[in-house]
Each structure stands twice: as structure tokens, then as C-alpha cells.
């Protein structure tokens, strides 16, 4: 079941993020703030197994983070979460940034028809190594 995230989901978002990215994840209180300000959807089975958070401004959305439980990946949950976000009224474009080293996410975004529109040099640092951010866009406008 997909439903909007509520403040009560913040601990589960924090826990899932910590599983997905052991180096950079946000605290429960950071998630409470993000959920209170931004738009989020969670996939529940019945506990949270995936979520998407996005900053929406008029016709555009920026994905802040998307995560799916590692044991349930490649079963369509990530695609469903993006699809749910895309149903937001008047939404025309989704933007996001992804680490050039995150091949799994890049494959996912390619599969859901995101296209690369730019690069931010040395945007991320991991273990002293710099990585570029690939800027991606998904458009819902007719070609």
C-alpha cells in the first residue's frame, strides 16, 4: 500500500535510509522536519519498505531521496513511488542528483526514462574521494 508519509514514519525512514546508505543518512528529527515541509510517499507491507521524498514547487519536483528495502528491490516499488509522485497535480518535470558512483540508482533512473542534463563536479565526497553528481530530469511534457 502506498500512502503519504506522516511524522510518525520519520523513525522508519531514518532506519531504512541507514540500511541503504551506511555513510550518509539523516536522523529521525531531520526526517520529521523533511516530512513536515516536503511531499513524501511510503510503500508499506505493512511496515515501511520504501519511500520517496520530494520538494515540489508548482510544476517541478526535486527528489530529495528515494529508497527501497534491499530485500525487495527490482520488484517495481521504486517505479511505483516515482509514479505516485508524478501524479501530483500540474507536475511537468522531476529533477534529481545522483552520485556518479551509484550505478544501481543510475540504472534505475535510466529504466524509468530519466535523462542526464548536467553534472556537478566533485559534489560528493566519500572516504576522501570526490565524485560528481549527475543531474537527471524526467519530463511529463509531450515531446
Ligand X SMILES: CC(C)(COP(=O)(O)OP(=O)(O)OC[C@H]1O[C@@H](n2cnc3c(N)ncnc32)[C@H](O)[C@@H]1OP(=O)(O)O)[C@@H](O)C(=O)NCCC(=O)NCCS
Sites of contact with ligand X (CB under 6 A) = 20, 65-68, 73-79, 96, 98, 102, 104-105, 107-108, 111-112
Question: Positive or negative CA dihedral for 54, 36, 42, 59?
Answer: negative
CB of 95 to ligand X, least distance (A): 11
> Please, which residue, 51 or 90, has the CB nearer to ligand X?
51
Distance CA 125, CA 123 (A): 7
> Please, which residue, 87 or 90, has the CB nearer to ligand X?
87
> Please, which residue, 43 or 89, has the CB nearer to ligand X?
43
* CA 2, chain centre distance (Å): 15
CB of 116 to ligand X, least distance (A): 13
> Could you tell me if 89 and 136 are in contact, meaning their C-beta atoms sit under 8 angstroms apart?
no
CB of 2 to ligand X, least distance (A): 12
CB of 89 to ligand X, least distance (A): 23
What residues are paired with 125 via a beta bridge? 130
**Cα-based torsion angle of the residue sequence 84, 24, 8, 88 in order, rounded to the nearest 10 degrees:** -20
Amino acid at each position: 500500500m502506498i500512502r503519504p508519509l506522516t511524522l510518525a514514519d520519520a523513525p522508519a525512514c531514518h532506519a531504512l535510509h541507514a540500511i541503504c546508505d551506511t555513510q550518509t543518512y539523516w536522523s529521525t528529527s531531520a526526517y520529521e522536519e523533511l516530512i513536515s515541509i516536503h511531499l513524501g510517499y511510503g510503500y508499506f507491507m505493512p511496515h515501511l519498505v520504501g519511500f520517496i521524498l520530494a520538494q515540489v514547487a508548482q510544476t517541478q519536483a526535486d527528489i530529495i531521496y528515494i529508497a527501497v528495502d534491499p530485500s525487495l528491490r527490482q520488484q517495481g516499488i521504486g517505479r511505483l513511488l516515482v509514479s505516485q509522485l508524478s501524479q501530483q497535480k500540474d507536475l511537468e518535470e522531476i529533477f534529481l542528483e545522483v552520485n556518479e558512483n551509484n550505478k544501481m540508482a543510475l540504472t534505475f533512473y535510466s529504466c524509468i526514462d530519466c535523462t542526464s542534463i548536467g553534472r556537478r563536479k566533485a559534489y560528493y565526497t566519500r572516504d576522501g574521494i570526490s565524485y560528481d553528481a549527475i543531474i537527471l530530469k524526467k519530463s511529463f511534457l509531450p515531446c
